[in-house]
Chain A
């Protein structure tokens, strides 16, 4: 059993994905049937998810875990899988920028490009869930642009190294 809410104390009480939520109060009277789980753990990103749907704004202030438990049990019980639907609805179209991906593929070595893009996508999807699409897109572009120079430098270094070897061989052959 778990509880999703705002504030540190509530977050500490949060359960895991699939857990039941004991108490939930939506400031905006959200339709719970349209909600789906985004965060159900004590993960740091949860507070943002919770802020988005404005959950568990209790009338009474709980000063102890015991009080909180009492308040929580007094509330209605919802399935957390339903609750997070509203939070996750925003993430369904969460895909990274094709141009950024292309740029990364362009400068990355062939043998590594696929893994780099997949790593970035994995991070992007996670950031999308945690912080929303706008943040994830900004992160994706920043990461891509910061990735280009090291890859380019590495490619130049490799080319120069082979250039030196070829030049040396030509010189040897000339002798």
Chain B
């Protein structure tokens, strides 16, 4: 199954942040590494789609102090999600393999 670029980034972030992947940490993780800050809405819309496909699973945390007793929604990647991510990254790898960048001095 194909993944969009944001979906790829989200799955990588969820995998990298495991088990502390929730909206804010995911947003910061992506911003720190790509320089692009996806909006809260786009993160949740994509995570929603990924959950529908069975690539991520969400769970509520215990009430947290820093949010005044409110819960966070944590995400974890599932086995099919890891499989889809690996396939998607491999596809990019094979596409970029042996590329000669125009004008670049290698």
Q: Which residue of A lies closest to B38 (CB)?
A: A146
Partner of B41, one of A118, A123, A148: A148
The answer, yes or no, to whether B72 is at the interface (CB within 8 Å) is yes
CB-based contact B23/A147 at 8 Å: no
Partner of B45, one of A142, A143, A144, A151: A151
* Cβ distance B18 to chain A, nearest Cβ, rounded Å: 18
CB-based contact B22/A119 at 8 Å: yes
Q: Which residues of A contact B72 (CB under 8 A)?
A: 115, 118-119
CB-based contact A122/B67 at 8 Å: yes
Partner of B44, one of A116, A121, A144: A116
Tell me the interface secondary structure of chain B in the complex: helix
* Cβ distance A166 to chain B, nearest Cβ, rounded Å: 19
Question: Which of A23-31, A76-84, A101-109 lies at the interface?
Answer: A101-109
CB-based contact B44/A115 at 8 Å: yes
B-contact bits for A107-127, CB 8 A (1 contact / 0 none): 111001011101111110000
* Cβ distance B20 to chain A, nearest Cβ, rounded Å: 13
The answer, yes or no, to whether B96 is at the interface (CB within 8 Å) is no
- Bound-state CA distance A109–B73 (Å) is 14
The answer, yes or no, to whether A150 is at the interface (CB within 8 Å) is yes
User: Chain A CB within 10 Å — which of B23, B39, B46 has the most?
Assistant: B39
Q: Which residues of B contact A115 (CB under 8 A)?
A: 22-23, 44, 71-73
The answer, yes or no, to whether B40 is at the interface (CB within 8 Å) is yes
Q: Which residues of A contact B45 (CB under 8 A)?
A: 150-151, 153-154
Q: Which residue of B lies closest to A140 (CB)?
A: B40
Q: Which residues of A contact B46 (CB under 8 A)?
A: 150
The answer, yes or no, to whether B5 is at the interface (CB within 8 Å) is no
Q: Which residues of A contact B49 (CB under 8 A)?
A: 154
Residues on B close to A: CB < 8 A? 22-24, 27, 39-42, 44-46, 48-49, 66-67, 70-73
**Would you list 28 pairs from A and B whose C-beta atoms are within 8 A, ordered by A residue?**
A104-B40, A107-B41, A108-B44, A112-B44, A112-B48, A115-B71, A115-B72, A116-B23, A118-B67, A119-B22, A119-B23, A119-B24, A119-B40, A119-B72, A122-B24, A122-B67, A123-B40, A142-B39, A143-B40, A143-B41, A147-B39, A147-B40, A148-B41, A150-B39, A150-B46, A151-B41, A151-B44, A154-B45
